Amino acid sequence: MSAALTSGTRAVEVEELRRERTALQLRLEDGYQRIERALQAGQDVTRWEDFWVQLLAQYEQVCDAIRDLD
């Protein structure tokens, strides 16, 4: 029975990570579009790019965690 519980717990954790991955993906896409528009307008986007790279690292960590649990 504990194996089934562990499997069920893992499934819940993977599902939560998948939701987090989707949210991060949407934020990355939105951020990319905002950065592109700002660049076209001649704005300095250095801080935005730094934040975007941090989001990308979070996204990669979540993807790695999903891979490890699947």
**For the chain, what is the radius of gyration of the CA atoms?**
17
Residue span of the structural domain in which 50 resides: 2-69
**Are 17 and 62 in contact, with CB atoms under 8 Å apart?**
yes
Greatest alpha-carbon span in the chain = 61
Q: What DSSP string describes 13-37? A: HHHHHHHHHHHHHHHHHHHHHHHHH
Answer yes or no: pTM beyond 0.75.
yes
Number of domains the chain contains: 1
- pLDDT tens sequence for the chain (70 residues): 455 558 888 899 999 999 999 999 999 999 999 999 999 999 999 999 999 999 999 999 999 999 998 8
